[in-house]
Structure 1
Amino acid sequence: MTTSSISRVPGLFSPDFWQETLALTRRLFIQLQRRPSTLVAGVVQPLIWLILFGALFQNVPSGLFGDSANYGQFLCAGIIVFTAFSGALNAGLPVMFDREFGFLNRLLVAPLASRFSIVLASALFITTLSLIQVVAIASLGVVLGTGLPNVAGIAVVLATVLILVFGVTALSLGLTFALPGHIELLAVIFVINLPLLFASTALVPLQFMPTWLQWVASLNPLSLAIEPIRYVYLHPNWTIADVVMVAPWGAISLGTAIAILLAVAVALSLLIQPLLRRRLA
């Protein structure tokens, strides 16, 4: 296989490309089936967060968290986004372990239609797990009284989560091929995870924060994903032009937040392409 054939993006209708992509994705699910604790922990942990944090602030005065009827309703959007973010940030770990154990080298010398299938398989796997987690969190939220958005609102929730997962998965795969091993990758994940959570609007409204942190939180991609989801949960008659967050630098509408999030995701995917071409070649 020539370098030019590696660097080109395969046709979406190539049967060989999709066959090998699905085969590599199936391999990841077989690994998950053999070690289901990964999925169980990924579902149980956010549910525990939702239950414990919701109970911790259940007696706060009404109206303290904006239009939310209770803190659980306010928190649900933050838990959905942070769970999807954490899962996508770990997307590179299976590829990293394949690198370290030599399986990736076997794939690179195999007669693949395109080595891009290795990357796409990881993305499909992580996206599926993220959707399972979102369904579990939303279902528990209904039990706890958070309710559900309307059909259009559910579409906004899913689209926002998918955009976030797309961008963060690209970042994780880029780190996988840029860092020397899984210890370094895990270190970066640990450093990124909680600071981004606490520097977002997942746990408290923007107006609760000092001015400098409001600037940070309003530029945080997690906040740009959380606020549209939270808004459609709380407002059945929402429109794309409704303001979902008043940042220190201006008001942000629902459509603007999603557009910025999409731009960040596309930028990250374009940024890692040269690195992926070099590493996969």
Structure 2
Amino acid sequence: MTSAAPSLLSPEASQQPPRSAAADLAQETFALCRRLFLQLLRRPSTLVAGVLQPLIWLVLFGALFANAPAGLLPDGLSYGRFLGAGVIVFTAFSAALNAGLPVMFDREFGFLNRLLVAPLRSRSSIVLASVLYITALSLVQSLAIMATAAALGYGWPGGSGLLLVLVTLLLLVFAVTGLSLGLAFALPGHIELIAVIFVANLPLLFASTALAPLSFMPPWLGWLAALNPLTFAIEPIRAAYAGQFSLSAVVLQAPYGDVTASGCLGVLALLAVGLFLLIRPLLDRKLS
């Protein structure tokens, strides 16, 4: 009779409890997220350009309309303070819209296929890493814009107002990141994804209240702006900068009725959940 094969594990290792699925998911997500940040450190031009472009918009547009007549904007706001909220939101929106590009390049260069055959506990870590990376990048860029706006004399939201700004940006980033990741798996290549980004970027900016209030717009554009997700993010932030932080306060007088700050946040939350539920079957199919 042959003897039993010796154990390949040490007594200490054999006595260790198995790792939980949550711990494995966290470890895999951290490793993939760390890879994305290492890529950013090696090529920081993405971060620099993402901060410089909105800074130029803020400085130039703020100077261009610095002599606007008093009372031209709602609540007697200066144009610089009015513009600041729009630039903050547009910065976060642009970063989130580019969230699918790293995934698309991984697809084209074959790295995604290597991940799919790797012994990952959960392939959801691939998506979670992208969401965390883009969220952190968007917040860094937005905080840089907020600091510059404060240095230019455009104000700074208080403690509760800053919390509102961060929550609003997070909801917008989650929603747009979900859309971008879905496009990264649905489109054939990065050329098509970049084309979609370019086509969507500026029209969504100009068809919002980032640069002008609804009262300046023709009726058809006012309706588009009042339905634009960017507007639902801009107006609560603008109210926070104006010192009118209250979830029950009306921040948007839309053609279809008044919308409160809590209503804007609710729309953004529903949009984020809806987009992730919409792309989940696509992600499950592509990552299976």
Q: TM-score, with normalisation over the residues of structure 1?
A: 0.94
| 2:253 alignment partner, one of 246, 258, 271 | 246
Deviations 1:159-211 (A, max 9, x none): 00000000000000000000000000001111111100000000000110001
2:145 equivalent in structure 1:
137
State the AA in 2 paired with 1:115: R
Where does structure 1 differ by over 2 angstroms across 4 or more consecutive aligned residues? Answer: none
Kindly report the root-mean-square deviation, in angstroms, between the aligned alpha carbons of the 2 structures: 1.3
For structure 1, the 5+ residue unaligned runs are 1-11
Q: CA deviation at 1:261?
A: 1.1
**Residue pair 2:161, 2:243 contacting (<8 A) in 1 also:** no
**Residue pair 2:185, 2:286 contacting (<8 A) in 1 also:** yes
**Residue pair 1:87, 1:126 contacting (<8 A) in 2 also:** yes
Task: Specify the SS of the correspondent of 2:259.
Answer: strand
Q: CA deviation at 1:215?
A: 0.7
| 1:171 alignment partner, one of 179, 183, 208 | 179
Task: Specify the SS of the correspondent of 1:16.
Answer: helix
Task: Specify the SS of the correspondent of 1:269.
Answer: helix
**Structure 2 CA distance for aligned equivalents of residues 245 and 89 of structure 1:** 24
Is structure 2 residue 53 aligned with structure 1 residue 45? yes
| 1:205 alignment partner, one of 213, 225, 235 | 213
**Structure 1 CA distance for aligned equivalents of residues 236 and 166 of structure 2:** 11
**Structure 2 CA distance for aligned equivalents of residues 54 and 220 of structure 1:** 23
Q: Do the aligned partners of residues 89 and 68 (structure 1) sit closer, same or farther apart at CA in structure 2, a change above 3 Å counting? A: farther
After superposition, where does 1:73-152 map in structure 2 within 5 Å?
73-152=81-160
Q: CA deviation at 1:225?
A: 0.3
Is structure 2 residue 167 aligned with structure 1 residue 162? no
**Structure 1 CA distance for aligned equivalents of residues 165 and 264 of structure 2:** 13
After superposition, where does 1:248-267 map in structure 2 within 5 Å?
248-267=255-274
Q: CA deviation at 1:134?
A: 1.1
State the AA in 1 paired with 2:281: P
**Structure 2 CA distance for aligned equivalents of residues 39 and 264 of structure 1:** 26
State the AA in 2 paired with 1:110: A
**Structure 2 CA distance for aligned equivalents of residues 111 and 38 of structure 1:** 31
State the AA in 2 paired with 1:104: L
Of all paired residues, the percent bearing the same amino acid is 65
**Residue pair 1:68, 1:74 contacting (<8 A) in 2 also:** no
Q: Count the aligned residue pairs.
A: 270
